[in-house]
Homo-oligomer: A and B are copies of this chain.
Amino acid sequence: MNGKKVVIIGGVALGPKTACRLKRLVPEAEVVIIDQDEYISYGGCGIPYFISGDVNSVQDLMSTSFHMLRTPQFFQDVKDVKVRSRTRATAIDREKRTVRILDLTSGAEEDLPYDHLVIATGSTPARLPIPGVDLPGVTSVTNLHSAMAVKDRISSGKVDRAVIVGAGAIGCEMAEALGDLWGIETHLVEIADQVLPGILAPSLAAIVKKHLEQKGVRFLPGRRVAAIRPGDEEGRLEVELTPDETIRAELVITAAGVRPNCELAKKAGLVTGASGALVVNKMLQTSDPRIFAGGDCIEISHLITGKSVFFPQGSLANRQGRVIGTNIAGGCAKFEGTVGSFSMKIFDLGIASAGITPQAAIQNGFDAQSVLVVQADRAHFYPTQDLIYFQLTVDRKTRRILGAQALGANGDAVAGRINAIAAILPFRPTIEELSNLEIAYSPPFASALDVVNAAANTAENILEGLNRPMEPAEFERCFIDEQDADCLCLDVRSAANAAPFVKRYGSRWLNIPQETLGTRMDEVPKDKRLLLVCNSGVRSYEAMRQLETAAITNTVNVQGGVAALKKTGALPETSEGEKGQNG
């Protein structure tokens, strides 16, 4: 291994991590990183926070935690790693074990020999197949150049209105970045019918949508951009949407996903998968065992579905970088795959997820059951408590946990619960294991029976048939939108809490407080489908059990109760008489 030559193509996340790990294990290795850009080793995930102003400068994204700029000189001095920036790899000769490189400044070409090659070429924003995407003012925000250009444009004061194309993670983060500090009128266009399509369950997506709208973002679901045209001489653009609408804006940000950069590897005959990304084994070797690959240009195994997926994440790139470094040094480290965890902040909401959504579960052939619970993030008597909206997906047949997602105002508390789920998912946990999962308890940081346990218990009750759930969206459809005459809402909260709704919905909204239900069974209509509600779904579940004793079984329990119905926008947030949150 002494003096082995290692060439790494790509210098953002995985490349530098691989280089540093390798050099710590084998100081005498000759490691060179090639990157066509002038900027290397930066925190790309921090770009939305640079644009919003939370992070002051791009230098912060390029610095170590001890405030040293990660320049090529830094890598030379501190890591003994050579970085050649503004240098493009143009061809790989696997026979000769060389990489042809082009110096973008001088135009000089050269062949670099390697014993091991690492492909860390990352990804590129998907290009929208529409006219006008190359106009000035239309941009993605996935590298520092575009990030700085966008921030310059914004801070010049010339952007009053912006259109973001794609309501995925980057699109939503950018909506906050533009709206929060800069006060830009922001239109968020999404071809699917919800925000964060494919990655967030509809019940939680409805909450995010409402929150975005409360913060002034205009969300346009079910729309796509047909064309972008120059609007006037001041650089304004006309964004034409289908169905019919045209928005005039000074800035258009495209955030329609990313594609792996695998052209170079493909040309060299390395195997790619259905997603277009490189196929690797668990040691992160490509189809040529001397060539490793990782980060945003590979497919990895999804530990829930068992399928190969393209799941670009800076955190995974870092972990994979360490694995590759170890393996080139002669070790045998493995990267088993992903449970697909992520988090994000959108204005005042923290959101986190691990595993798959109920929709993805169904698509993957699971007999999926979705569960929604709403509970305080700490003891309900502790003053700083706030609600967590927690969605759990389980497989009915095997009782396996398939995924969990949550959101709330205290993002650290939300992420902390999802971290627990992310941790156990590789071990294929069952509902029972989640039911007794030991969230670290004390009143300032958890409930005695935490929201994670409550979600598992609710899942069990649903699977046992004790709790017949109705999702907030289904309640909205049948009770609010269609005003289904066969449905009656039975509100088991106090009279004061129910009063505004009784007033609004009249005889369709019946109030019998749960503590009086035992003696008032004869008031419950037998000829209607009863939609049971309380504040969170707990008392209404208890009411369902009580009604069963009187042979009243045409009931469903509205998951998350009035808390979820208000938060998703199904019910108005107008009723002043209400108290309490968790019942």
What is the bound-complex CA distance between A354 and B424, given in angstroms?
15
Q: Mark A524-550, 1 if CB is under 8 A from B, else 0.
A: 000000000011100101100110110
- For residue A444, CB closer than 8 A to chain B, the reply is yes
Q: Which residues of B contact A77 (CB under 8 A)?
A: 515-516, 518
- Among B23, B45, B352, B539, point to the contact of A66 (Cβ < 8 A): B539
Q: A54 on the interface (CB 8 Å rule)?
A: yes
A422 and B444 within 8 A (CB): no
Contact bitstring A375-390, B, C-beta under 8 A = 1, else 0: 0110111110000000
The residues of B that contact A350 with a CB separation of less than 8 Å are: 444-445
Q: How large is the interface on A (under 10, 10 to 19, 20 to 34, 35 or more residues)?
A: 35 or more
On whether the beta carbons of A448 and B318 are closer than 8 Å, the reply is yes
A residues 378-416 in Cβ contact with B at 8 Å: 379-383, 410-413, 415-416
Given A354-B438, A417-B416, A419-B417, decide whether A45 and B313 contact each other with a Cβ distance below 8 A.
no
Q: How far is A377 from B412 in the complex, measured between Cα atoms in Å?
A: 9
Min distance, Cβ A374 to any Cβ of chain B, angstroms = 10
In the complex, which residue of chain B has the Cβ closest to the Cβ of A376?
A: B65
- Given that A66-B581, A416-B413 are contacting pairs, would A436 and B515 also be in contact in the complex, using a CB cutoff of 8 Å? no
A476 on the B face (CB < 8 A): no
Tell me the smallest distance from the CB of A490 to a CB of chain B, in Å.
16
- Give chain B nearest CB distance to A385 CB in angstroms: 9
Q: Nearest CB to that of A13 among chain B residues? A: B448
- Inter-subunit contact B436/A336 (CB<8 Å): yes
Task: Tell me the chain A residues, 293-348 only, with Cβ under 8 Å from chain B.
Answer: 313-319, 322, 333-336, 338-345
Taking A350-B445, A448-B314, A579-B66 as contacts, is the C-beta distance between A426 and B417 under 8 angstroms? no
Tell me how far the C-beta of A177 lies from the nearest C-beta in chain B, rounded to whole angstroms.
Answer: 12
A80 to B314, CA, bound (A): 54
Are B28 and A549 touching (Cβ within 8 A)? yes
- B441 and A341 contact, CB distance less than 8 A: yes
Contact A78 B345 (CB under 8 A): no
Q: How far is the CA of A99 from the CA of B64 in the complex (A)?
A: 68
Asked whether A3 is an interface residue with its Cβ less than 8 Å from the other chain, the reply is: no
Quick check: A43 and B448 within 8 Å, CB to CB? yes
Task: Tell me the complex Cα distance, A111–B21, Å.
Answer: 72
Partner of A54, one of B66, B382, B437, B583: B382
Residue of B nearest to A424 (CB): B423
- The residues of B that contact A55 with a CB separation of less than 8 Å are 381-383
Q: Name the distance in Å between A79's Cβ and chain B's nearest Cβ.
A: 8
Given contacts A64-B580, A377-B412, list 10 more A-B pairs with CB under 8 A: A45-B441, A45-B443, A49-B443, A77-B516, A78-B542, A313-B441, A315-B438, A343-B440, A344-B442, A420-B420
Cross-chain pairs A/B with CB under 8 angstroms, 16 sampled: A28-B549, A43-B379, A45-B441, A45-B442, A55-B381, A65-B380, A65-B581, A66-B534, A314-B448, A315-B446, A342-B440, A343-B441, A377-B412, A415-B446, A419-B439, A422-B437
